[in-house]
């Protein structure tokens, strides 16, 4: 019987070593280790042997089963490795890791900051979690003003809130800086808005402030016009319309001429045929704001302006849904 076991091991080793695929290997497993295999037949004969031969026969058949099982596993691993090698063309270049890119809003913010730096503005920043004084009171927004309604502001504990505008930064700057002051403040703001194609509860603004002796509305217009031309092209014109903001007087909204149609063009989807695109608000700083920060409104005047970065980006690149900026879809950002 020992000779039969050895011959079985040799035959199994040869067959398993020449197996071409996993299907053949499974057939060999059944042939050599299955219930009807020759090895099982040898095991069933051990009981018929003389008592003194049974231990050696049992050890031999057990070793044979282990050897055959090991050979099957090794051949299976070799076949898998061969399959991977056959599916790989080692002459091809490796896969390159994608490079990270600045978000569109970050790039636009940096571009605007560079434009205003060229006009002598510094950059300022402030906290996103604010108190009511900096967000409302110092900006001449009384307690009964609609902007302080719970539907518009995210209120936190202990009288704190998420800032609704970057105008809070101008208060902090003026409270610690003597005139002249010339700053821009980019940052994120929050309002309780229903999210749709043109509104979001989290958005970005860029606030501008210039305070000095003899600052006029003409200075504001020149600053906005210079910014628009550098951002959208030399042909860009600016239009001011009367408006109301509690922290500026007089207050205006400013529009840029449509950079797409140079209209009016009734077919233009960006300006809707008007030839103008509404951008943001601005105005001369209200004397009440100067008094809140300790500036003498009889001596100093100034202007402030703001703009939504998402709004500017949508105008510049023809983006029709504000939600794309925060959807974390890399395909969107790669376009810019």
What is the per-residue DSSP string for 80-140?
A: HHHHHHHT--TTSPPPPPPPP---HHHHHHHHHHHHHHTTT-EE----SEEEHHHHTGGGT
User: Phi and psi dihedrals of 6, rounded to 5?
Assistant: -65, -40
Instruction: With a cut of 80, say whether residue 285 has pLDDT above it.
Output: yes
Q: Is the pTM of this model over 0.85?
A: no
Tokens of 278: 């509404």
| Element containing residue 227 per DSSP (H, E) | helix 217-232
pLDDT in tens, 297-316: 999 999 999 998 988 888 88
DSSP 8-state assignment for residue 208:
E
Query: 261 versus 34: which is more confidently predicted?
Result: 34
**Cβ atoms < 10 Å from Cβ of 27:** 13
Domains and CATH numbers, the chain: 2-85 (no CATH), 104-334 (3.30.930.10)
Asked if 238 and 218 touch (Cβ cutoff 8 Å), the reply is no
Helix ranges (H only) for 177-216 are: none
Instruction: With a cut of 90, say whether residue 122 has pLDDT above it.
Output: yes
* C-alpha–C-alpha distance, residues 133 and 5, integer Å: 94
pLDDT in tens, 190-245: 998 888 877 888 999 999 999 999 999 999 999 999 998 898 888 888 889 999 98
From the list 267, 289, 263, the residue with the least C-alpha distance to 135 is: 289
Instruction: With a cut of 80, say whether residue 120 has pLDDT above it.
Output: yes
pLDDT of residue 259: 66
Least confident of 9-13, 111-115, 213-217, 302-306: 9-13
CA distances from 300 to 9, 162, 251 (A): 102, 30, 17
Q: What is the mean pLDDT of the chain?
A: 86
């Amino acid at each position: 019987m020992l000779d039969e076991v050895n011959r079985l091991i040799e035959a199994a080793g040869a067959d398993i070593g020449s197996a071409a695929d996993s299907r053949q290997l499974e057939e060999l497993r059944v042939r050599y280790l299955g219930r009807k295999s020759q090895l099982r037949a040898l095991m069933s004969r051990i009981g018929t042997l003389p008592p003194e031969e049974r231990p050696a026969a049992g050890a031999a058949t057990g070793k044979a089963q282990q050897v055959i099982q090991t050979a099957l596993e090794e051949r299976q691993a070799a076949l898998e490795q061969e399959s991977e090698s056959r599916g790989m063309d080692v002459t091809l270049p490796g896969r390159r890791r994608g490079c990270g890119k600045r978000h569109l809003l970050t790039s636009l913010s940096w571009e605007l900051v560079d434009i205003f730096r060229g006009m002598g503005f510094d950059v300022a920043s402030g906290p996103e979690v604010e108190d009511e004084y900096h967000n409302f009171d110092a900006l001449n927004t009384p307690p009964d003003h609609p902007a302080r309604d719970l539907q518009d502001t995210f209120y936190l504990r202990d009288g704190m809130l998420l800032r609704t505008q970057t105008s809070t930064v101008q208060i902090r700057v003026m409270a610690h800086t003597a005139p002249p002051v010339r700053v821009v403040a980019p940052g994120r703001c929050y309002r309780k808005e229903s999210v749709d194609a043109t509104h979001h509860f989290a958005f970005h603004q860029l606030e501008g402030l210039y305070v000095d002796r003899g600052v006029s509305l003409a200075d504001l217009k020149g600053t906005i016009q210079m910014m628009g031309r550098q951002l959208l092209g030399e042909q860009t014109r600016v239009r001011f319309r009367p408006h109301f903001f509690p922290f500026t007087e007089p207050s205006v909204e400013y529009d840029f001429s449509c950079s797409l149609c140079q209209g009016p063009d009734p077919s233009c989807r960006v300006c809707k045929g008007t030839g103008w695109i509404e951008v943001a608000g601005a105005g001369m700083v209200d004397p009440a704001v100067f008094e809140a920060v300790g500036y003498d409104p009889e001596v100093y005047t100034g202007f402030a302006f703001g703009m939504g970065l998402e709004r500017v980006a949508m105008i510049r690149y023809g983006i029709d849904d504000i939600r794309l900026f925060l959807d974390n879809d890399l395909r969107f950002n790669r376009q810019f």
